[in-house]
Amino acid sequence: MDATSAINLISNHVQSYLKVDGGSLTLNVDGSYCHHDGSISCGGCIRDHQGNWKTSFSRNLDKGSIFQAEMWGTILGLHLAWDNGMRAITVETNSKQVLNFINGNFDNSCQHYPLYREVIQLLARDWHVILRYVPRENNSVADKLPNFGHSLSLGTKVYQFPPAVGIVPLNEDRTKAGLGLV
């Protein structure tokens, strides 16, 4: 499978993770940038079609731009899904810039080309990945994880259970969808 056919990009489609077809998994990702020190972090959460937590991550990325944080969130989230044997996943991000970039809307001399190359190599693996835009309010759990990542030492922290910072937004998402609390 080539990189072009590996990308199933729905950039203008707004849908919450709970409306995805039964049996599928959704990865919500986000990045964070601190203006006072230039630090960046990212995070993401994988849930099933009922909103049940599967796994998640936060990562302190040191210094950089919000775009780099958003891209690393997507890349690390895809790695986490692949490493956990997930072969069909919908990735939701609130960054249209990241979706446009992954769709090839940039100059090849761009300083972020290595990030593009890495995500394209991930998408070209033998699996089904849909990339989708969601508004920030539909990405609330993923929004908390990168913010928490700023407090971590450098590196990735994987959570097999929802960390305390994720419980409230997880329950808010489930309540909006008419599901029970965790």
User: What percent of the chain is predicted at pLDDT more than 90?
Assistant: 51
In terms of Cα–Cα distance, which of 162, 155, 18, 20 is closest to 90? Answer: 20
Q: What is the pTM of this model?
A: 0.81
Number of domains in the chain: 1
CATH number at residue 168: 3.30.420.10
- Please give the DSSP secondary-structure letter assigned to residue 31: E
SS3 22: coil
Range of the domain at 158: 3-176
pLDDT at 158: 92
- Is 29 within the bounds of a domain? yes
- Residue-wise pLDDT tens digits, 74-99: 999 999 999 999 999 999 999 999 99
Token pair recorded at residue 32: 């964070």
- Residue-wise pLDDT tens digits, 27-75: 999 999 999 999 999 999 998 888 788 999 999 999 999 999 999 999 9
- Is 84 within the bounds of a domain? yes
Question: 């996943």: which residue's tokens?
Answer: 89
- Is 181 within the bounds of a domain? no
Rg of the Cα atoms in the chain: 15
In terms of Cα–Cα distance, which of 14, 56, 52, 54 is closest to 143? Answer: 56
